[in-house]
Amino acid sequence: MFHAREDSRHLASPDALGEDFDGRLFIGEFKTSSHDLDPSGGYYWSTTYADQMQWQMYVTGAERCLLVWEQHDGHWPEPYAFPVRSSWVERDEQRILELIELADRFLEGPVMGVEAWQAEYLDAKQSREAAQQRMDQAADAIAGLFPEGGSVESPLGKVTVSIPKPGTRFDATAFKAAHPDLHRQFQKATKPGGPRVTVTPVKEEDDE
């Protein structure tokens, strides 16, 4: 197993590794298939072998890969050595850059364990919303029993219904607009609270 010099998370395990007579690094990849794996043919490009070898060349720093394959007919009642073919696959820097981007996006995926707590949060939120709906319905029913307000005690505790009265409140927005300098004088720094977590469920698509 090898890792890339640029990023130790990028791993590969080619079948062979060596140098040519000029000291250039190359790798080897060995396959068996019932199809012709010649890189000049169409079937080769329908497999993942091309990307596999480009990735291996990136990780190891090799300049090329020798693809060796044994093509069989899918039937051999007795051991049989089928003809072995080979072809050089050259390094493709553009495709390697694309593969690195894909790998990094995959590696930067969901943090380990977050999905379990996300599911727990959403389940609890749904239960809380259902419970809040029941509480609101019960409160409305109780308020209907005391149209003028009042209180009553029962074995379960005390119930009080208060009727709101007109009141006043300080209009901070209007004050700030009318007296911005004075408003600024009475601002004070606050201590930051804890982390704020927002969990949003996946939107369900409407059936068409």
Give Dmax (Cα) for the chain.
100
User: Could you tell me the two tokens for 165?
Assistant: 């009265």
Distance between CA 177 and CA 169 in Å, rounded? 16
pTM: 0.52
Residue position matching structure tokens 């497999």? 47
In this prediction, residue 155 carries a pLDDT of: 92
In this prediction, residue 139 carries a pLDDT of: 94
In this prediction, residue 207 carries a pLDDT of: 47
**All structural domains of the chain with their residue ranges:** 2-107, 111-144
Q: Euclidean distance between the first and final Cα of the chain, in Å? A: 49
**Ranges in the chain, pLDDT < 50:** 207-208
Please give the sequence-ordered ranges of beta strands (E in DSSP) within 63-173, or none if there are none. 64-71, 84-90, 150-154, 157-161
